[in-house]
Every structure is written in C-alpha cells, then in structure tokens.
Amino acid sequence: MEHLKTQGISVPRLGLGTFRMQGDVCQAAVENALELGYRHIDTAEMYGNEDAVGAAIAASCIARDNLHVTTKAWHTNLTPDAIERAIDASLRKLGLAYVDLYMIHWPARDMDLPALFDTLMRVQAEGRIRAIGVCNFTLDLLRTAVEEIRAPIAFNQIEYHVLLDQTPVRSYLSRHAIPIMAHCPLAQGTLAEHPELMSIASKHGTSPAQVALKWLLDQDGVAVIPKAQRRASQQANLDAMALTLDPQFALTPFVAPALVDGSYDTSLRDLRANCWPGCRARRHRSRHDGSCRRVRDSLARVRHALVGRDRAQGDRRGQRSGKQPVASELGGEPIFELVHRQHVGLGG
C-alpha cells in the first residue's frame, strides 16, 4: 500500500475510520480490517471506542511498528494540563505506549495554541506521540499554527469528497507540504446514487464509492479514512486503490453553487435547483423548514460551522445579529454542500 511521509512518520494512504462504531461491533470491524491488510486505524477520544480499537490491535498480534494509529483530543481538553491527561487516558484505553499521530480534534474558543503546541511537542519528545496533527482548522487557524507558531503539523484532517471542494485549504496545505487526511470521503454513503458517479462507475466495471475514493487517492498529498464496518465494504475500499480511472471519464467535483454574492444566504430557487437529482421532495417550504431532508441537513451544517468558527475565534457577532457569514469569515472554505447528511458535524 502507498504511504505518505510527513514529519517523520509514514502513513498508509487508506485507513479505517471508526466514528460511530462502539464496543464489540467496533472491535470486530477493526479485527477484520487488520486481517484484510489495513495498517492505518483512526479513532478519537470523542468516539468512545479507543478500548475496542486497542483490544482489536492486541488480538491481531501485528508488530506495533507495522501499524499507524491516530487518536484525537476533544475540544473540552484543549488546555496544556488537560490535553496531557487526555493523551495518557487514550494510551491506557488503547493499550499502547505511543500513538503515531495525535490531533486536536476540534478548535475551542479559548484555546491557547502556542501553549498547546508546546505541550504536544514536549510529549512528542518524550515518545508518547510520534507526530502532531489538527482537524477542522480554518485557513486562519492554519496560518496561526504554521506561520506564527511554526508548529510541526503532520496532517490537517478535514471532510473532503467529490461533493465538497476544498481547493483553498488544499492549496495552502500544499504550499507548506502538509497533507490532508480526508474524513467522510464517501459523503457518509450518499454517493452511491449520484448519476454521474454511477455512469463513470459503470464504464469502469466498479462502484460509485470506489470511483470517489480513487478520485481522492489520485491526488497528491491526500490520505482517506472511510468508515467501513462490514468486511465486504472494507475489501471494496482496498480494491479501489487498484482502480485506474480512464481520463476520458475524468471526474470533476460536483459542488453545488451555494454561494450567492459571497454569502450563505441561498435562495429557495437555488435550493430547489441544486438539490440532489434523486430527491423526491420538491416542495421546499423555506430555508429553515424545508421538506427535503438534504436541504435541511445542509443548513444545519452551516449552523454547525458557525459554532466552530465562534469557538475558534471568539466571535459572537453572528449570534447577536443573526447575519449569515461571508465566505472569508470561514477561511474561504465552501461548506454548504447540498447532500444528504445522516449526521451533521463532528465526523473525523
């Protein structure tokens, strides 16, 4: 399997995401993945499954040097003392002496980034973590971490898939040789019904999910961590790595044009026009009470992103005024994709 090398670690480009897996189900899924050849497992304090992941690793008898394990600190533990306690708690649950990549899972409003990175680098020097990463960081936060603090960031883990254009963040990370860890690379299972993906997959004799994964894996500096509980799905994701996409059927991002005059104040007409092609609910009553779940969930995603912005920047103007933010306030990242969201927000 191909690897990405960054900040002294070598990471398999395809890993197993474990968000929403719990207990015996999680342990069985990780054990299956390791038997199939996965050597990259992604978990987090917030997932509540580090003990199950650790049990699966122990049962596998795979040499520790041959495994990459990522875990993450939740936003409630982003003080120097709290994050060190969180690291030790994660190591105990995983049954490991170290993790390969430790990440800040979600920005917090009052976090002291210089102090946090000082703590993480000290813990790294002590051998409890091998590399440091961040998740869901806006461009402003990335600039602070990379250019002002000069933190040794190994990855930025963000949602990235064919329905979500991350060009601004990708361009910045590429300039600084920081790879992307793409969570939700299959848009939480919504890609199977996309007509253009289905057409391309048919011409390649494969599935829409495999086409979408290979589209990501064909990009430099991108690793993917699709959640896959069933063994057959895990194998299908592995098989995607061997797929060769015919340039004749080149895939381009299917990002719905949600921005109107630089804001997220999308009209009802645009919501109707850009809704998922298979949507049967054509009567969208309003932006805040749409009969189409896909539209309602994408609006909730925008609200969730604003919460993340407020936590990170301490900016309460949106709460006071009710004004929708312009794109630049969120780092220029297009976050309003009109896709079916079974869960809004905190994957990855």
Query: Which residues are part of the catalytic machinery?
Result: 47
Query: How far is the C-alpha of 155 from the C-alpha of 102, rounded, in Å?
Result: 10
Contact 309, 109 (CB under 8 A): no
State residue 41 phi and psi, 5-degree precision.
-120, 130
State residue 111 phi and psi, 5-degree precision.
-70, 145
How many other C-beta atoms can be found within 10 angstroms of the C-beta atom of residue 288? Answer: 9
DSSP state of 69: E
Q: How far is CA 252 from CA 187, 197, 209, in A?
A: 15, 10, 15
Nearest alpha-carbon partner for 340 in 281, 266, 285, 269: 281
Query: How far is the C-alpha of 292 from the C-alpha of 311, rounded, in Å?
Result: 29
How many other C-beta atoms can be found within 10 angstroms of the C-beta atom of residue 263? Answer: 14
DSSP state of 221: T
How big is the chain, counted in residues?
Answer: 348
Q: Identify the bridge partners of residue 70 per DSSP, sorted by sequence position.
A: 42, 101
Query: How far is the C-alpha of 175 from the C-alpha of 154, rounded, in Å?
Result: 14
State residue 226 phi and psi, 5-degree precision.
-65, 140
